[in-house]
Structure 1
Amino acid sequence: MDPNTPTDPPPEVGLDFPREWIEFLDPADPEHLVRADLTWLTSAWTCVFGRGCAGVVVGRAEDGCCNHGAFFTDTDDLERVAASVAELTPLDWQRHPGHAPAREEWTEPDTLTEPEPGEAAEEALRTRVVDGACVFLNRPGHPGGAGCALHAMALRQGRHPLETKPDVCWQLPVRREQEWVDRPDDTRVLVSSIGEFDRRGWGPGGHELHWWCTGSPTAHVSAQPLVETYGPELTALLGEAAYAELRRLTEARLDAGLVAPHPASPRPVPVELHRRRPD
């Protein structure tokens, strides 16, 4: 086991604390309104897989958050991942079957939620779970390295992992919710809300996770704010123009010292860019 792997779950802050949100119209689309949680996007969170992550299941820290597989959001997500799976080599993927993988070898049906009595369960496709974790999770000792095979392949090819991994995997722990809203003047806007995917994001089962990183100081160790480190992901979620405006507005708020800080981030947050988080 990696010496950085904790035996007990590191502490987490409470789920409820003051947050600062901002709203703005997408410069490229007047019918697209963005709501963004600046407290989360200016935090020092970063993924600590393999370097302090305690995992979501007791005794399986080295699995990170990959124990339950990944549900596909739609057909486009599934087809994009399928194209990436076809590119995997045995060096990338510990469980590579040695031939062109059939879809049934790496996916399986499951239900999204527990149905109410008398109701049918909502079914969806996800990545297959093998030996308690996603089929694409390479275990420690694999020559290609531990962790997601699709992630490792993207890095080897000089691509961003969001191009190869399921949507839910590259979006976490950023949560995007979208809905059309009718306003009092009879206009409609698509509201995209960008925030923290905390324990509540998983539903009632989120409170049963062994550990969740977004609220833990152990994972708030980045020298750059999340709005910077997650630039490609936020661009994919919002579009280039909206992300550029989000970045501009976030930097202006940081310069003015007006952002309510995330309680899991250290004080002062060690940002070495041209912007700072509030003390």
Structure 2
Amino acid sequence: MFIRQGTKGEALLAQQSRDMGKAKLALPCLFRKGETLPPTPRQKKSACADRLTVLSLLFLALTFLWLVLAPCSIEVQRLFVAWRVRSYNAVAAEKARQDLQQRLSHDPPLGITVESLQGKQPCNGVLVSPDLPLLLVVMGDCKGCKAGNVKVWQEVAGSTTWRQRLQVAVLFQNGEEEIAQEARARGWALPIFADPKGEITQALNAQFTPRAYGFVKGRLVWKQDEPTEGEVSALQQFAEHLWGQQKANRLLTAWARELRQQAWGNDRRRG
């Protein structure tokens, strides 16, 4: 009886071993040594959440450490102050630009004639030709007389390149006698207008100075829009308005060549 039971138990164990062997053959990839089951989507999501939590805690720890140590660092304080200054300057510059654009919106329309300028004679006796386009530069007050700005326009007015094509004049908000005396002292040979009451300046809405205006036969045809534009830029824009970009560039190149030749001639005479 016991021998039969043992034989039967052995037969049962043998059958189970065969079944396991078949299972291993049917699913070999699950039972190879060194291999594991691929992670499930839930496991991947959990791992990403764990990494994100660790990185967030690390960021918070570093931020807290920086906030604790920053007030003690002179370099950090300097950078912070510089950033605040740049931010303030940027805001102030944008506000100033918007304010200027608002004031420039009251500019006179192109094509008008300025009555207070009609028939007005330069205070230094240099006549204005009605046949040539006029570039009028409003200078504002003559305190210090902005001699550097006038010098550039003096060179334009006296150059061979420009004097047969356009005329340049400047306008100051001072009395005629004062301006005429200053013009004689500095040797200015271009037309200079006096506007002591500010009538012409107000009519042209000269919200910044110097500001250039272009006239053709007494009518306003062009005006300077940006205060950062220099004398050469204003001259180029007016020339482009009159003759187009290509001819304006040729005239500027010829003027630059003329200035170089004058400089070389002065150097030779000094030598």
| More strand by percentage | 1
Give 1 or 2: higher helix fraction.
Answer: 2
TM-score (structure 1 length as normaliser): 0.21
Which is greater in Rg?
2
